[in-house]
Structure formats: structure tokens, C-alpha cells
Amino acid sequence: MENNTNLDNLLSSSQSVPGFSAQKLMAGVFSWMFLALCISAVFAYIFGHYPPFQDLISNPVTGGRTLLGWIIALSPFGFILLLSAGYENFSLGLNAFIFIAFSALMGISLSSVFVFFDPNSLAMTFGITAVTFGVMAITGYTTKTDLTKFGNILIMALVGVIIASLINFFLHSSALDLIMSLAGVVIFTGLTAYDVQKIKNMSLVAEQEGMDMRKLSIMAALTLYLDFVNLFLFLLRFFGRRR
């Protein structure tokens, strides 16, 4: 009888730990993601509403980006590669610094939305994005369906959208732009659920391999941050009203 009780305790303990680890990891992920969105929003607002700052990144005559503007626009890709390649070897403090710097630069590069779009439509689009993201995040966390196959299809579709965007840079086709916008909304809506499920499953592996959950939460937050921002930008093509 005592042996059966001990066995039951072990089984209940082994089942509760993964759930607890997943909850703990997801709490850290969404905390970092929320912080990143706040930082980006602050920098986007400041650079979008203060003309001297805006003039640093865009030419007031031509409307194109300045050299500094191009550096700021492209530098987040470098930060993503840096974090992806070295987050396990970096200290927690360095990971946090890179992630915060990335968020600030993303905010600056996105500041043009405050220049070209009506504030009310920005707020409405952000709200739609937040609701959509929240629903899909909950779906990804709670569903019992393995989303791996769907995720792979969505990633391939994303590659297709990127290639089509490069082609349309020269074609300037409004029809192709509309198709890509619709595809982008579908892709990042689906990727949100897929990435949340993937992060949840990563908690099991991370615990078994003794990985640092705090570092992992920053890297996972980067993934969800990119899902949110890209979903917002694609939805903005439909709901954003230009000034």
C-alpha cells in the first residue's frame, strides 16, 4: 500500500512539473515581449512626433531614408542573428541588453507609421492585432493538435511572400500587394499559435537538459514579438487610414 502511494506521488509529481515549467517559461516570455512592445512603442512615438528626430532617419525632401535611417532599419536583423547564434553563451544581462536595444531600434524604424497613418486607425489596428494574437496564443497553448506540420507549411509560405515582395519591389503590382497582405495576415496568425505551442514544448526539453529558462524566455519572446509586429504591419495595410 505504501509503495503504491509513493508511486502515485511520483506520477503526479512528474505530470505537474512539465505544466509548471511551461507556465513559468510562458510567463517570462510574455513579460519580455510586453516590455519589448512598450519600448518599441515609446521610441516609435518619440521619433514619429518629433521632426528633428524624424529628419535623422528620413529625408524631408525626398521622403526616402537617410544613411542613418537605413542602418537603423537593417540593424535589427543583425541583432536577431546575434541573439540566435549566441544567446546560450551570452550572460543573461547581455541577452537582455541586446533584446532591449533591438526593441528600441525596431521602434525607431517603425516610427514612420505615426507620420503616415491616422492615430485612430493605428490604435484600432493595434487592438485588432492584440485580440487576434491573444486568441491564437491561447489556441496554441491549449490545443492538443500537433501544429508542427502547419508550422512548416506556414514557414514555407512566408518564404514565398518574401520572394514575392522582392519581385513586387520592381513590378509595383497592387493586386500582388493585396495577395501578399492577405497571405501575411494568415501566415502570422497561424505562426502565433505554432510558435506558442513550440515554446510550450521547449520547456520540457529545456528542463531535461538543464537550460537556463531565463535566457530561453528572451529568445522565445523575440519570436513572438516578431509575430506580433508583422501581424500588426500586415493588418495596417487593411485598416490603416493615411493622413
**Hey, where are the domains in the chain?**
21-239
What band does 27 get if pLDDT is binned at 50, 70 and 90?
A: very high
Residue 242 makes CB contacts below 8 A (sequence gap 6+) with 116, 117, 118
Mean pLDDT of the chain: 87
pLDDT at residue number 20: 58
- The CA distance from 28 to 171, in Å, is 43
Average pLDDT over residues 159-173: 91
DSSP symbols for the chain: -HHHHHHHHHHHHHHHHHHHHHHHHHHHHHHHHHHHHHHHHHHHHHHHH-HHHHHHHB-TTT--B-HHHHHHHHHHHHHHHHHHHHTTTS-HHHHHHHHHHHHHHHHHHTTHHHHHB-HHHHHHHHHHHHHHHHHHHHHHHH--S--HHHHHHHHHHHHHHHHHHHHHHHH--HHHHHHHHHHHHHHHHHHHHHHHHHHHHHHHHHHHHT--HHHHHHHHHHHHHHHHHHHHHHHHHHH--B-
* pLDDT confidence of residue 145: 94
Position 87 scores a pLDDT of 85
Residue 3 has pLDDT above 70, yes or no: no
**For residue 225, is pLDDT > 90?**
yes
* Confidence bin at 205 (pLDDT 50/70/90): confident
* Separation in Å, CA 172 to CA 64, 179, 184: 17, 13, 17
pLDDT greater than 60 at residue 105: yes
Rounded Cα gap, residues 30 and 36, in angstroms: 10
- The fraction of the chain above a pLDDT of 90, given in percent, is 63
Is residue 127 very low, low, confident or very high in pLDDT (cuts 50, 70, 90)? Answer: very high
CA distance 104 to 47: 11
pLDDT over threshold 70, residue 19: no
Cell of 179: 495577395
> Can you say how many angstroms the Cα of residue 208 is from the centroid of all Cα atoms in its chain?
26
State the Rg of the chain over Cα. 21
